[in-house]
Amino acid sequence: MDFIRAFGVVVRNKRKDRKLSQEQLAEAAGLHVNHISFIERAKTSASLHALESISKALDVKPSDLILSAEALLEQAP
């Protein structure tokens, strides 16, 4: 697993923890739903703008998303 994939997993897990659909997260973040889908599936990396928007919509710090992705990478075989 690479960082882009781990970041997507973290975004998906945080979104699901908050019981949000991709559409709801996209609306709250001001992004297109396809962008959220692509990030979660590691089809694209998140820009700094997307990172900031997603973190605000999920009510977490951008660094929390990054650190969670790094922790997930450390756990991966």
pTM: 0.94
Q: CA dihedral in degrees (27, 63, 47, 74; nearest 10)? A: -110
- pLDDT tens track for 19-53: 999 999 999 999 999 999 999 999 999 999 999 99
Beta strands of the chain (E only): which ranges? none
Cα 65 from Cα 63, distance rounded (Å): 5
Give the pLDDT mean for 7-13. 98
What is the crossing angle of helices 33-40 and 22-29, to 10°? 110
The count of structural domains within the chain is 1
The domain containing residue 53 runs over which residues?
3-75
CATH number at residue 27: 1.10.260.40
- How much of the chain, in percent, has pLDDT values that exceed 70? 100
DSSP state of 43: S
Q: Give residue 56's identity as a one-letter amino acid code.
A: K
